[in-house]
Amino acid sequence: MFHLIVFLLFIVVFNDVCLVAGWNPANFSFNPGPDYELVWQDEFENVGPVQAIIDGAPAYAPNPKNWRHIVDFKIGLENFTVSIQNSYVQNGQLTIVAMKEGYTSAMLSSENLQEFTFGIFAAKIRLPYGNGIWPAWWMYGDDHKTNLSWPTVGEIDIVEMWGGNQKGNFSDQYAHGTVHWNNKSNTMNPFYDKYISIPWGTPDGSMLHNNSLVYWTEWTPTHISIGVNEFTYSVINTTNMPDSINPVIAFRGLWPYRMLLNIAMNAYPPGPPDNTTVWPQKMVVDWVRVYQQKKTLIAQEIQNMYSIKTPPLLTF
d(CA 251, CA 238): 7
| Whole-Å CA distances, 41 to 7, 122, 214, 242, 291 | 48, 9, 14, 34, 9
The mean pLDDT value of the chain amounts to 90
The model's pTM is: 0.89
What would the pLDDT profile of 104-154 be if each residue is shown by its tens digit? 999 999 999 999 999 999 999 999 999 999 999 999 999 988 889 999 999
Confidence of residue 310 (pLDDT cuts 50, 70, 90): very low
d(CA 162, CA 253): 30
AA letter at 202: T
Output the CATH code of domain 33-305: 2.60.120.200
Which helix (H) or strand (E) segment holds residue 125: the answer is: strand 119-126
Query: How many CB atoms sit inside 10 A of residue 99's CB?
Result: 19
Residue 79, classified by CB atoms within 10 Å of its CB into exposed (0-12), middle (13-18) or buried (19+), is middle
Please, where are the H alpha helices in the chain? Answer: 2-22, 295-305
Q: What percent of the chain has pLDDT over 70?
A: 86
Q: What percent of the chain has pLDDT over 90?
A: 81
Q: Which of 89, 184, 191, 196 is nearest to 148 (CA)?
A: 191
